[in-house]
Amino acid sequence: MKKIFFFFLMIASLTCWAQTQVVAHRGYWKAPGSAQNSRRSLVKADSIHCWGTEFDVWMSRDGVLFVNHDEDINGVEIQKSKSRDVRSQRLPNGEVIPTLEQLLQVAQGTTLQLVCELKPHDDKQQEAIAVKKILKLFKKYGLENRVTYITFSYPGTKMLIQQAPKGTEVYYLNGELSPRDLKGIGAAGPDYHYSVFMQHPEWIDQCRELALKTNAWTVNEVKDMQWCIDNGIDYITTNEPEQLQQLLK
């Protein structure tokens, strides 16, 4: 009887240790026919059962949210342009650039967690409007429970924390704030370049003590993935999701 009890105790303690989750960076864009931040990259991330997929959001001058990493697409700078000049732009895989609304429509057909990065805009009023519009769109498509927000923008981080539904996780990307600072502003934790965690391995323990989560990017080498796994990083954002999945098996 005693043996059975300890067996169950062991299983229970093992299941308490949450496994590192895989986030496809800009979608699974290395898959055939895919491209960074494309609709297909989201579908492909879902097809290999990633926990989540990350994508980047900019707002045009006239208030339309587009998904793209760089501030420009084919030389058209999104935050300074009218949406009609952005809409026709194509990604390297031939897809037309997705609006955030179009990407969320695709996301509805998946089970992915959506790691939505707000890009820092030059005009902070424009950024504030972008925050409101992003929150509204996730609500419209019933995806508020499946989104995590990330941003390099400190004011953006604070706005997202204040305005997103209670319990929504907001992570800060910029690497300079300690776990205590992040806890102080109500962030869910650091989403930092993995080298920051390597320089401050004590931050990982501090995050655990403060009930913060840790997310490392962009981890593409096996040795770095293994370091993150061994050190208990909660989420790894990678361009090589299948390789990371193999490692986690």
Contact 160, 171 (CB under 8 A): no
Q: Smallest distance from the beta carbon of 145 to Mg ion, in angstroms?
A: 21
Binding site for Mg ion (CB under 5 A): 56, 117
Q: Smallest distance from the beta carbon of 120 to Mg ion, in angstroms?
A: 11
Joined together, the tokens standing for residue 233 give: 């990083």
Q: 20 or 68, CB closer to Mg ion?
A: 68
Q: Smallest distance from the beta carbon of 209 to Mg ion, in angstroms?
A: 28
Joined together, the tokens standing for residue 76 give: 């058209």
Q: 151 or 183, CB closer to Mg ion?
A: 151
Q: 137 or 183, CB closer to Mg ion?
A: 137
Q: Smallest distance from the beta carbon of 153 to Mg ion, in angstroms?
A: 12
Shortest Cβ contact with Mg ion: which residue? 117
Distance between CA atoms of 184 and 180, rounded to whole angstroms? 6
Q: 183 or 197, CB closer to Mg ion?
A: 197
Which are the contacts of 148, defined by CB distance < 8 A and separation ≥ 6?
Answer: 52, 113, 114, 115, 116, 168, 169, 170, 171, 188
Q: Smallest distance from the beta carbon of 230 to Mg ion, in angstroms?
A: 25
Distance between CA atoms of 167 and 8, rounded to whole angstroms? 31
Q: What are the CA-CA distances from residue 82 to residues 71, 79, 145, 149 (Å)?
A: 14, 8, 31, 25
Q: 210 or 224, CB closer to Mg ion?
A: 224
